[in-house]
Amino acid sequence: DAGITQSPRYKITETGRQVTLMCHQTWSHSYMFWYRQDLGHGLRLIYYSAAADITDKGEVPDGYVVSRSKTENFPLTLESATRSQTSVYFCASSEWQGAPYEQFFGPGTRLTVL
Amino acid sequence: GNSVTQMEGPVTLSEEAFLTINCTYTATGYPSLFWYVQYPGEGLQLLLKATKADDKGSNKGFEATYRKETTSFHLEKGSVQVSDSAVYFCALSAPDLKTSYDKVIFGPGTSLSVIP
């Protein structure tokens, strides 16, 4: 199916464990993004990527690592999960950056760190 | 820096009521403005957009006009339906002086519940 998918949709893990959230898009969009959504904070950008092998930090990158070896995939890794990383994570893609190009969002991954 | 402010929610309306969700922004230069909608259990999707002053974006009965003089982009709908229950995010896109890329900034979201 065309679109942007995320896996897993739900994840429960323990403090200190490594977790990887997957994101896959079928449009060959150049730009991909990772956001976290928390009550009271709205959406905050963690990392973004302009193309394969090009990534850059967003607003809240600490504790996260990304890679982009292929255009269609943009995994997000929590190297050592902390309770403060409990959140809903959204991946998005865009043909180009900024206006007037919209971002297309995946369905989200709800992560709970115990 | 650039920012987006939205009215506090949650907002509860009866079906067929008039909806206004206020959005104001702070930005240098000439940002583009967006409204995204998030239905329960889903990701965000673009509802409408406007790229220059006085532009009106519209979609699915929703409208918003880019008002540069008041730095606002209020979302309106004349008659809401139960199916409009969702969280609405105002957003702007403007050049980021640190990276030269356009950066999208989202407001905190406004939750809307429409009751029959």
Identify which of B6, B50, B39, B49 has the alpha carbon closest to the alpha carbon of residue B24: B6
Nearest CA in chain B to A100: B51
Is the pLDDT assigned to residue B46 strictly greater than 90? yes
Cβ separation of B31 and A99 shorter than 8 Å?
A: yes
Residue B95 forms contact with A (CB below 8 Å): yes
Give the per-residue pLDDT at A109. 96
Count Cβ–Cβ pairs < 8 Å, chain A vs chain B: 55
Q: pLDDT category, B50, cuts 50, 70, 90?
A: very high
If pLDDT is split at 50, 70 and 90, which confidence band does B68 have? very high
Instruction: Flag whether pLDDT at A68 surpasses 80.
Output: yes
By C-alpha distance, the chain B residue nearest A107 is: B43
CB pair distance less than 8 Å for B102 and A42:
no
CA-based nearest distance B17→chain A, Å: 26
Is A95's Cβ below 8 Å from some Cβ in B? no
The bridge status of strand A10-13 relative to strand A64-66 is unpaired
**3 state DSSP class of A84:** helix
A98 has a pLDDT exceeding 70: no
Q: In the numeric block, which tokens belong to residue B107?
A: 């407001």
End-to-end Cα, chain A, rounded Å: 34
Model confidence over B6-45: pLDDT tens digits? 987 899 999 999 999 999 999 887 899 999 999 988 889 9
Q: Which residues on chain B are in Cβ contact (under 8 Å) with A40?
A: 108
A40 in reach of chain B (CB within 8 A):
yes
Provide the CA A23 distance to its chain's centre, in angstroms: 7
Q: Which amino acid is at B88?
A: Y
Distance from CA of B80 to the nearest CA of A (A): 24
Residue B89 near chain A (CB below 8 Å): yes
Average pLDDT (B68-79) is: 96
Contact assignment for A107 to B41 by CB distance below 8 Å? yes
Distance CA A22, CA B26 (A): 34
Assess whether pLDDT exceeds 80 at residue A97.
no
pLDDT grade, residue A95 (50/70/90)? confident
